[in-house]
Structure 1
Amino acid sequence: MAEPRGAVTPGQVTTGGVTTGASGSVRAATRGPGAAVPAVARLWPVGVRPLVLRGWEPPATPYGPGHRGVDLAAAPSAPVRAVAAGRVVFAGRVAGRGVVSVELAGTGSPPLRTTYEPVRASVREGDTVRPGEVLGVLEPPTAHCAGACLHWGLLRGEAYLNPLSLLPPWLLHAGPSRLLRVEGVPLP
């Protein structure tokens, strides 16, 4: 079975703007002003390790075609969580879809801003949120994805960035856990 477009797997360059090497290192693609992004998130906005259905595909020009975020597989009514601490700067409807936008604390000037859609918000503009705090629930599927998905975006000012760059490398790679021998300790 083919990998979904933009899936993050070791040794591949994804269309989502993340390069992964055999060592598991991750380097986010950088484009535009303020493209350096600190890995401030410690969890995914939905699920534990959701499937990336479509990766970040930055446009060549500000108004050109592209995909200005990532689509993450999730069930309708799944909780959508803040990936990092911040302040809700928007919670409402845009083009018929629920959208929540969070300005991330301590991320420079202009600050980083994450967006989540389609979400039925349980937070309001001005609310302060902690990492992992529920922002709302995923609304039923829209025409954006074939099935239910969360479109997760990241901006600094007006520049779109790869939201996967917020996550540390250990969260991006779904590999099996391995037990390592500790010298002097017999194996069971």
Structure 2
Amino acid sequence: MGRHDEETRARRARRRRRFEAMRGRRRLNALVATSTLIAAAAATIAIGVRTADCAYAEGGCVPAMVLPVRGGTVVSPFDAPEQVWFAGHRGIDIAAAEGTPLVAPADGTVSFAGKVGGKSVVSIVHGAWTLTFEPAVTTLAVGSKVSRGRQFGTMSGSSDHCDGACVHWGIRMAGRRYVDPERWLRPQRIVLVD
């Protein structure tokens, strides 16, 4: 009986230590997750974009992106829907004719080139953003790197959006939220917000 009691106590002690170790790891994971969220919130609060005083910034300011049609004109502005599933204009239309060269607004990687619902689309991933162009075609393979201001394709192919007179450019953030591409065409600099 004595030996059996000792083994039982030893087994219970090992189980208790394992349980305490698991509890400790859970607490540590929760602490790390909380600290990460707090740091991300602080970074979001502490950083802003300022465009008004760009001319006076040291070294000036440059736009984050360039227009995909050199010398192009925006003919239809961005019109965000109230909810992601509502109707709206999730990008801008830039005047262009069949065969007009398209340049990459920013450095990135071709993530898609083909048809979506019968429309010719090219997508470029830039960080957490996906830039889409329609109608557009490219000879580049998916995975090809593209450089800001360098040609990646042409305004060509099928689309019921622009009737051969423009190219549609959209920017989608992670998830399904679209943002106004014109915002990234204005000179800006990152500043700390008080």
TM-score of the aligned structures, taking structure 1 as reference length: 0.62
More helix by share: 2
Q: Is the 8 A contact 2:80 2:89 kept in 1?
A: yes
Q: What is the percent sequence identity of the aligned residues? A: 34
After the TM superposition, which parts of structure 1 deviate over 3 Å for at least 4 consecutive aligned residues? none
Q: Distance in 2 between matches of 1:150 and 1:138?
A: 6
Partner of 1:21: none
Partner of 1:101: 123
Q: Distance in 2 between matches of 1:71 and 1:141?
A: 15
Matched, 1:84 2:106: yes
- Cα distance, 1:146 vs structure 2: 4.8
Matched, 1:51 2:73: yes
Q: Which runs of 5+ in 1 are unaligned?
A: 1-23, 27-37, 106-110, 171-188
| Rg larger in structure | 2
Q: Is the 8 A contact 1:88 1:127 kept in 2?
A: yes
Counterpart residue identity of residue 40, structure 1: A
Q: Is the 8 A contact 2:119 2:158 kept in 1?
A: no
Q: Is the 8 A contact 1:89 1:126 kept in 2?
A: yes
Q: Distance in 2 between matches of 1:40 and 1:124?
A: 25
Q: Is the 8 A contact 2:98 2:164 kept in 1?
A: no
Q: Is the 8 A contact 2:108 2:126 kept in 1?
A: yes
Q: Is the 8 A contact 2:132 2:171 kept in 1?
A: yes
Pair 129,47 (structure 1): closer, same or farther in 2 beyond 3 Å: same
Q: Is the 8 A contact 2:120 2:159 kept in 1?
A: no
Matched, 1:162 2:170: no
Deviation string, structure 1 residues 102-137 (Cα, Å, up to 9, x no partner): 1114xxxxx112111101212221011111222211
TM-score of the aligned structures, taking structure 2 as reference length: 0.60
- Cα distance, 1:163 vs structure 2: 0.9
- Cα distance, 1:147 vs structure 2: 4.6
Q: Distance in 1 between matches of 2:113 and 2:95?
A: 22
Q: Distance in 1 between matches of 2:185 and 2:131?
A: 12
Superposition CA RMSD, Å: 2.4
Partner of 1:150: 167
Q: Distance in 2 between matches of 1:140 and 1:92?
A: 10
